Structure 1
Amino acid sequence: MKGIVSSVAVASMLLFTGCGDTKKENNESQTTKQTAEQFVLKFSHVVSANTPKGQAADFFEKRLEELSEGRIDVQVYPSSQLYTDNAVLKALKLDSVQMAAPAFSKFGKIVPQLALFDLPFLFKDIDHLHRVQDGEVGQKLKDMVTDKGYVALSFWDNGFKQLSSSQKPLVLPEDAQGQKFRIMSSKVLEAQFHAVGANPQMMPFSEVYSGLQQGVIDAAENPISNIYTKKFHEVQKYLTISDHGYLGYLVVLSKKFWNSLPADLQEDVKQAMNEATEKERQLAADLNNEQFNLIKEYADSTGKLEILHLTDEQKEAWRTAVSKIYPEFYDNNKIGEDLIKGALNTK
């Protein structure tokens, strides 16, 4: 009897041990399956790979693949290889592409409040701008974009805009009076130039060089990168470093893709994007300085361009003249008083 009991006990032990091993193997198999699951993130942008945006996108690719230990395969497509900025927002909704970094103007019909960055002389300097973008005002804007079916991640720099003219130096607001300024399609920019007695003219960017060269327009506003790469400085007599407005990009993600990621990979995306944003901003600043120096070399060597730097008093005169348009955009369907005053009051 004792022998029979002992045999039964041994058999039972083997049975339970076997069950335990099977359960353990199943758990390990499930863990391996989860770990091996890979997500593909296609990042589409419209500029070349050697620009600040292009280099930051490549940095993001390497950093996220490193942080996720290969669980997210990032594939960057520069130079509109997949989509133009005009088409990419629809593609994001369909999850045909997972990430993009369109210019603010591409969100105009979706979130018109991003026109905040068009308001002239709203930001004291680049540090103030970044505090606004990374603070409460920036988060409100990103939330508005996210509410429209995207996931807004971060603001990337193009640069501050400068004034140029072929007619006369733009030092005080009254110097703009009567001059024909090329503008993008923007109610804010229209109001800005009307405020100083100028004549805003909407014109496609591709026509600006010939427009300036032939005198169809007298003046323009552009970041240094546009001025240098499109050679606008060669068809203008005066360049005023005004830093009066800002052009940038908003990095957005497919909401469907974001919701498919486990929480740990969402954190990896956030960290990689924060690091890429810091890098992109530094690259943009470095390029701005480099290209400005090349424009200055052209001015010094040819004598065909005069570069002017506004004093604090002159900047204040411009700010006083154009800030009167701010209340025109207090309506929440335009920009909103809370966003405008929030930006002004950001310390």
Structure 2
Amino acid sequence: MKILKKKPFMLVLTLLILLSMMAACSSGSDKASGDKAKSGSGDEYTIRVAYSVPEDHASHIAGLAFKEDIEAKSDGKIKVELYPNGQLYASDREAVEAVQLNNIEMTVVATPTMATFAPEFSIFDLPFLFDSREAAYKAMDGDLGNALNEKVDEIGLVNLGYGENGFRHLLNSKHPIEKPEDMKGLKMRVMENKVYEDMFNTLGANSSPLAFGELYSALQQGVYDGMDNPISLVSSMKFYEVQKYMTLSSHTFAPLVSVINKEYFEGMPEDLQEILKESMADVYNKTQRETTQKQDEEKLKELEKELEINELTAEQKKAFVDALQPIYDKYSGDIGEDLIEMAKAANE
């Protein structure tokens, strides 16, 4: 009987406790809403930037300047964390995929990697497309760059601008490269990009892709005879320790793209979006290009002490251009004749 009498009391007590908890939650929620309303758009945004190059590379040097600039201009609302040396992702492709998935906010990668996501970016892989750095800048900052930015948008990313690695050159451990026939039989590492693979195979080499972070040890172990890279990376990654010959071929210009997750970017307040775009254009990209040019000049002098270096003459270069015409024939359809014309127009 006593047990039966206690049941109504326990039921009422339980009900009172539940009502009290609901009231407390409601009060807490109202308070949180009130606090948020008072603070306005006080959210902070952390942008983690991953890339495979080391700390002395122009991309990291520019990243430090960008970090300082944007954190100051945004009054600390935007925080930047830099992850060089492939700390987070061994390959550029993995980094781009991570940005697409919003596992990380931003990455800086070479355009051959972007071409695996948007084939139009393969235009920069076409051999001997630009006559000079100035022509490449004109194309990247003009109609060609704007057209490619639309392709980036379609794959869930936003391109915040173009940096550079400079012109790419040939290196190997066997002999100097002076004519297309000298490429025959060389085991060449290429980026994870089909145009590069076809380009070297067309010249008679045996090429295959490998992640940048694994390249030094692969060359050291003789898995590959050679590769191609810009001067800055040959120096900063100490590839001269595992290569003997360098040919200044300038066969392709190597732009970099700084891509951020589209959903993350568009989720930022418009004023912070503008600060981010301006800082990338005025500080990051400007610093990155200037530093790359300066390093190319300085580091080439240093590499002359470490490698046997030759530069292709105009006549020798023409032999390579003629030998590589099949690459244009094969890829012009995928890239688009209109984009190729935009690029070539920049040489005028």
The answer on 1:77 being equivalent to 2:85 is no
TM (norm. structure 1) is 0.78
Deviation per CA, 1:60-94, whole angstroms, max 9, x where unpaired?
Answer: 22222333344x32222323555564444444345
Q: Which residue of 2 aligns with 1:277?
A: 285
Deviation, 1:206, is 5.5
The answer on 1:185 being equivalent to 2:165 is no
Deviation per CA, 1:206-251, whole angstroms, max 9, x where unpaired?
Answer: 5655655565543321222332344433444421111112334311
CA contact (8 A) 1:57 1:76 kept: no
Deviation, 1:188, is 1.1
CA 1:203–1:277 in 2, change beyond 3 Å: closer, same or farther? Answer: closer
Alignment of 1:48-67 (within 5 A): 48-67=54-73
CA 1:51–1:339 in 2, change beyond 3 Å: closer, same or farther? Answer: same
CA contact (8 A) 1:172 1:318 kept: yes
Q: Which residue of 2 aligns with 1:3?
A: none
Say which of 124, 128, 131 aligns to 2:135: 128
CA contact (8 A) 2:108 2:259 kept: yes
The answer on 1:253 being equivalent to 2:253 is no
Deviation per CA, 1:319-346, whole angstroms, max 9, x where unpaired?
Answer: 22213321200223xx222222321222
Q: What stretches of structure 2 of length at least 5 have no aligned partner?
A: 1-34
Letter of the structure 1 residue corresponding to residue 177 of structure 2: L
Deviation, 1:281, is 0.8
- The ranges of structure 1 where at least 4 consecutive aligned residues each deviate by more than 6 angstroms after the TM superposition are 29-32
The answer on 1:295 being equivalent to 2:303 is yes
Deviates more, 1:153-162 or 1:74-83: 74-83
CA 1:254–1:237 in 2, change beyond 3 Å: closer, same or farther? Answer: closer
Q: Which residue of 1 aligns with 2:344?
A: 344
CA–CA separation in structure 2 for the residues paired with 1:78 and 1:65: 17
Alignment of 1:116-265 (within 5 A): 116-205=123-212, 208-209=215-216, 212=219, 216-265=223-272
CA–CA separation in structure 2 for the residues paired with 1:86 and 1:194: 22
CA 1:88–1:310 in 2, change beyond 3 Å: closer, same or farther? Answer: closer
CA RMSD of aligned residues (A): 2.9
SS of corresponding position for 2:109: coil
CA 1:181–1:261 in 2, change beyond 3 Å: closer, same or farther? Answer: closer
Deviation, 1:296, is 1.1
Deviates more, 1:99-108 or 1:289-298: 99-108
Q: Which residue of 1 aligns with 2:27?
A: none
CA 1:293–1:64 in 2, change beyond 3 Å: closer, same or farther? Answer: same
Deviation, 1:267, is 2.1
CA–CA separation in structure 1 for the residues paired with 2:93 and 2:181: 37
CA–CA separation in structure 1 for the residues paired with 2:68 and 2:220: 43
Q: What stretches of structure 1 of length at least 5 have no aligned partner?
A: 1-28, 299-304
CA–CA separation in structure 2 for the residues paired with 1:105 and 1:31: 46
Q: Which residue of 1 aligns with 2:46?
A: 41
CA 1:123–1:89 in 2, change beyond 3 Å: closer, same or farther? Answer: same
What is the aligned residue count?
Answer: 309
Deviates more, 1:196-205 or 1:56-65: 196-205
Say which of 105, 110, 120 aligns to 1:113: 120
Deviation, 1:39, is 3.1
CA–CA separation in structure 2 for the residues paired with 1:322 and 1:200: 15
CA contact (8 A) 1:330 1:336 kept: yes
CA 1:109–1:179 in 2, change beyond 3 Å: closer, same or farther? Answer: closer
Deviation, 1:30, is 11
Letter of the structure 2 residue corresponding to residue 44 of structure 1: V
CA–CA separation in structure 1 for the residues paired with 2:148 and 2:56: 29
TM (norm. structure 2) is 0.77
Deviation per CA, 1:279-317, whole angstroms, max 9, x where unpaired?
Answer: 11111222222222211123xxxxxx4211122222222
CA 1:274–1:200 in 2, change beyond 3 Å: closer, same or farther? Answer: same
Letter of the structure 1 residue corresponding to residue 277 of structure 2: K
